[in-house]
Amino acid sequence: MIKYPNGGPSIKTDRSNKNKTSNRTNLGMNLEKDVEISSKYFIDHNQAIFYKKPTPIHVYKVSHDNSHQITEAYYDKKSTTDYNGLYREKYIDFECKETKTKTLPIDRLSKHQVEHLYRVKRLGGIAFFLVRFNTLDETYIFDIDHVIDFIKLNDKQSFSYNDIKTKGYLVTKSYSPRLELLKGLDEAYFSDEDKQEEDY
């Protein structure tokens, strides 16, 4: 059984049917699959680019016969966020998190990821966790600033569904794109701009 340090492999071939038996491997996989399929739609329609960052892998040995063949390597635990990209001229960076309960434990958000997203936000990018409540099949854009405020102001160990629903933005599902991520981003980050444009 394959266990990955960050809840799931990031390389397409890892997500083969072979892994379907492993619950651990599939943690976070449904959301990521939806994001990937939606990203393809957005690229094909020239609307946005979102990239899955591959999990960094340390290569130790390559084959003598074929320099493309790696014979010993290790997953690096210290990866940053899942995705970055470009939408409406802005740099976007986010991390997918799924939960089967109605809470999201803070320790599911690594310090490394929180710091990275905070840095992105400070430099003028858009940075958030994309949180899915599996049992409700609801997905939210939850801005890094809310995460940081929450950690500063609370001594709770988890975000509740209400915390995220109240401060976050619902990303609706549809047939194509599967996740209406751009509509969610419009609402979360561009609604003032859109309003101004309408006023003209």
> How many Å apart are CA 133 and CA 140, to the nearest integer?
9
Beta bridge partners of 133: 99, 138
C-beta closer to a copy of itself: residue 87 or 159: 87
* Positions in the binding site for a copy of itself (CB under 8 A): 1-5, 9, 11-16, 18-19, 22, 24-25, 43, 46, 48-49, 51, 53-62, 67-78, 80, 84-93, 119-120, 122-125
CB of 136 vs a copy of itself, minimal distance in Å: 30
Residue 183 CB partners (closer than 8 Å, separation 6+) = 171, 172
DSSP state of 6: T
CB of 153 vs a copy of itself, minimal distance in Å: 24
CB of 154 vs a copy of itself, minimal distance in Å: 27
For residue 117 the two structure tokens come to 């997203």
The packing angle between helices 29-44 and 181-189, to 10°, is: 90
C-beta closer to a copy of itself: residue 19 or 139: 19
C-beta closer to a copy of itself: residue 64 or 155: 64
C-beta closer to a copy of itself: residue 2 or 136: 2
Q: Is 184 in contact with 141 (CB distance < 8 Å)?
A: yes
